[in-house]
């Protein structure tokens, strides 16, 4: 099994190279087509035309576009993604600082989406043919029709503004110092023995994570229910009934195991989408993640930073898909063929 998973990862690494190259070329060309002059933006408003031209020469913007791309690519392979125009810092270091917060939010949201999606899918299947079936269908459609940013606004207004139950800005209380060991605040607070920081970070994480989880859970619900319908036509389900097993036992111990495989694939795709979808939620809750950084970069036309963030999103999605495919191979014996 380890050898099969290793071969899968090796194949994904090989295919990831052209994908990343294609994304980098697309990002580079599209951003260079914008009516924005990075040289002028990196200088004070009082800069003269001569100073702007000198800056353009320093940044290599007076060279042909293919040559500019090759220079940028070589620098990126050495870890240099260019200097942020807005923050006057290395773009790679800015991304590395904010990426853990976004991963932390996305993982928490995916856990919530999985719990709600699996629980809801099992419930929807269990009440099939009863008077509760239309109600569960209506609830899943309602959840499916509300996007994550709207959930974010609703939860913020209800639990943050009206009830004052949970904080809705930032990642931790402003009077608490945020330790930096791994970059992941929840882990760092535990490593440093600061339970107060951990609890504060959890409180700040609840609303944005629930907003994302609620938006992505109904798809998991409906796919799991459909998969269970397919599984229940298999012969082993009838054999389990003939052995006198209860419907609950058949559902949880037999049907769910096989129905969860396509649901796992969907969850991996959903996680990639969810990771990209953190952008608006981070803005709503002033959450200091990569999505918020992307909004600032786009607003200020910070081309080096936009390129670094765009490539990072692509890399993370590729990693997520590789992990999900590896889990699928581990859980599905039919794929363990050399």
- Three-class secondary structure assignment of the chain: CHHHHHHHHHHHHHHHHHHHHHHHHHHHHHHHCCCCCHHHHCCCCCCCHHHHHHHHHHCCCCCCHHHHHHHHHHHHHCCCCCECCCCCCEHHHHHHHHHHHHHHHHHHHHHHHHHHHHHHHHHHHHCCCCCCHHHHHHHHHHHHHCCHHHHHHHHHHHHHHHCCCCCCCCCCCCCCCCCCCCCCHHHHHHHCCCHHHHHHHHHHHHHHHHHHHHHHHHHHHHHHHHHHHHHCCCHHHHHHHHCCCCHHHHHHHHHHHHHHHHHHHHHHHHHHHHHHCHHHHHHHCCCCCHHHHHHHHHHCCCHHHHHHHHHHHHHHHHHHHHHHHHHHHHHCHHHCCC
Give residue 261's pLDDT band: very low, low, confident or very high (50, 70, 90).
confident
Average pLDDT, integer, range 257-280: 80
Token pair 């459609």 is found at: 141
What CA–CA distance (Å, rounded) separates 54 from 48? 10
Q: Rounded to 5 degrees, what are φ and ψ at 84?
A: -60, 130
What pLDDT is attached to residue 199?
Answer: 93
CA distances from 174 to 189, 223, 261 (A): 15, 41, 43
Whether 186 has a pLDDT exceeding 80, the answer reads: yes
What lies within 8 Å, CB to CB, of 303 at 6+ separation is 31, 32, 34, 36, 38, 82, 85
C-alpha 37 chain-centroid distance: 31
pLDDT tens-digit profile of 52-97? 788 777 777 777 888 888 888 888 888 888 888 778 888 888 999 9
pLDDT tens-digit profile of 3-48? 766 776 777 778 888 888 888 888 888 887 777 777 777 777 777 7
pLDDT tens-digit profile of 89-131? 888 889 999 999 999 999 999 999 989 999 999 898 888 888 8
Whether 206 has a pLDDT exceeding 90, the answer reads: yes
Mean pLDDT of the chain: 84
């Amino acid at each position: 099994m380890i050898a099969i998973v290793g071969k899968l990862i090796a194949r994904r690494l090989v295919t990831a190279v052209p994908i990343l190259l294609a994304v980098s070329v697309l990002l580079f060309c599209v951003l260079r087509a914008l009516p924005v002059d990075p040289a002028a933006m990196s200088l004070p408003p009082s800069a003269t035309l001569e100073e702007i031209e000198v800056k353009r020469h320093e940044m290599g913007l007076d060279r042909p576009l293919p040559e500019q791309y090759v220079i940028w690519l070589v620098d990126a392979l050495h870890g240099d993604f260019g200097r942020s125009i807005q923050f006057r810092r290395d773009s790679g270091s800015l991304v590395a600082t904010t990426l853990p917060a976004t991963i932390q939010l996305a993982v928490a949201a995916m856990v919530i989406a999985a719990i709600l999606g699996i629980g809801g899918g099992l419930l929807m299947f269990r009440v099939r043919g009863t008077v509760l079936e239309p109600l569960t269908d209506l609830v899943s459609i309602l959840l499916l029709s509300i996007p994550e940013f709207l959930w974010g606004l609703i939860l913020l207004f209800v639990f943050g503004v009206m009830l004052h139950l949970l904080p809705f800005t930032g990642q931790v209380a402003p009077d608490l110092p945020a330790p930096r060991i791994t970059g992941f605040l929840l882990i760092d607070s535990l490593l440093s023995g600061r339970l107060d920081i951990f609890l504060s970070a959890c409180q700040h994480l609840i609303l944005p994570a629930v907003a994302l989880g609620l938006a992505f859970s109904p798809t998991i619900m409906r796919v799991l229910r459909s998969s269970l319908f397919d599984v229940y036509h298999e012969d082993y389900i009838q054999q389990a009934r003939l052995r006198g097993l209860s419907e609950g036992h058949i559902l949880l111990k037999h049907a769910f195991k096989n129905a969860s495989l396509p649901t796992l694939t969907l969850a991996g795709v959903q996680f990639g989408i969810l990771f990209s979808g953190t952008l608006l939620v981070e803005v709503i809750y002033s959450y200091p993640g990569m999505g918020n950084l992307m909004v600032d970069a786009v607003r200020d036309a910070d081309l080096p930073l936009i390129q670094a963030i765009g490539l990072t999103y692509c890399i993370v999605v590729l990693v997520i898909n590789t992990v999900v495919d590896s889990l699928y191979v581990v859980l599905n014996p039919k794929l363990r063929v050399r």
